[in-house]
Amino acid sequence: MIPTRRQWKGWSLPSKLTAIGTLVGLISLGLYLAEKSYDFLGTQAHSINTENFEIPPVVLTIENATDEPYAIQCRGDFVLWLPQGVDYARRLPGKYDLDVQGGQLAVSVIRIGPHMTVNVVAKLHAEFSLRKMLDRGVADIEFIFKNEQGGLLFSGSIPFTRQSIKTTRWKIDIAKKE
């Protein structure tokens, strides 16, 4: 697979450049997949627009009706689903940070015991104006929760309007299968 020094010297320049380009491409692909799978570059890889902190946090109730403990990572993704009439995009991605309501020291995972309910607050961050989307009130938001084992749990669509964000506590059931 890897050429010897003698073989390398016998190759033409285009062959050498092809081999180098392939190696660089494989390394880039590996780094991309590792970052997407394990987020090893951390949150610095994502720029956060400071105007988005004017968005009220979303209050969620996460219920574990199972007999097993469950752990949700505090940092995750959300999707804003736009109306079907929008030409340029059907969905817009963003990030959220979860905090346990009532205060808790900074943690990376929220643990929920069997047959327990936890109230959390989701702070939203995105590279587009969340305030404009909230004011228009035409989108739905869906949270994508990750557990410690890498499994995913979807919140389902929640109306992304100023009224619903301020007045409603949305219930997410861990036992729900989609």
Compare 125 and 32 and report the one with higher pLDDT.
Answer: 125
pLDDT value at residue 46: 37
In this prediction, residue 10 has a pLDDT band, given cuts at 50, 70 and 90, of very high
CB atoms within 10 A of CB 142: 16
Percent of the chain residues topping a pLDDT of 70: 80
pLDDT digits (tens, 9 = 90+) for 123-156: 888 887 788 778 888 888 999 999 888 888 888 8
Compare 178 and 115 and report the one with higher pLDDT.
Answer: 115
- Domain 46-173 sits in CATH at 2.60.40
Q: For the chain, which residues make up each domain, given as ranges?
A: 5-38, 46-173
Global pTM reads 0.63
Q: In the predicted model, what is the mean pLDDT of the chain? A: 80
Question: How long a stretch of residues is the chain?
Answer: 178
Sequence-distant (6+) residues with CB within 8 A of 13 are none
pLDDT digits (tens, 9 = 90+) for 153-177: 888 888 888 888 877 778 888 876 4
Residue 124 tokens read as 């939203």
